[in-house]
Amino acid sequence: MAVCSVCEKKRVTGNNVSHANNRSKRVFKPNLQRMRVQTDKGTKRVHVCTRCLRSGKVVKAV
């Protein structure tokens, strides 16, 4: 199971709800991108969610 390496975001469960109010289990997955990130120990390839990318919490490796 993939998890965001910055904010620890992972999949959560919920229900599909039909118009007749029938409920079945479903999974909500975060939008994870596998990319090279600059860390203090060098470049590293990690899973990062798009919210962390957009907010600037990670620095892309060149």
| Superfamily of segment(s) 12-55 | Ribosomal protein L28/L24 (2.30.170.40)
- Assess whether pLDDT exceeds 90 at residue 1: no
Q: Which of 27, 28, 33 is nearest to 50 (CA)?
A: 33
* Residue 17, pLDDT score: 98
Listed by start position, the domains of the chain span 12-55
pLDDT class for 62, splitting at 50, 70, 90? confident
* Residue 6, pLDDT score: 94
pTM listed for this prediction: 0.78
Tokens of 11: 């999949």
2-61 pLDDT, tens per residue?
Answer: 899 999 999 999 999 999 999 999 999 999 999 999 989 999 999 999 999 999 999 999
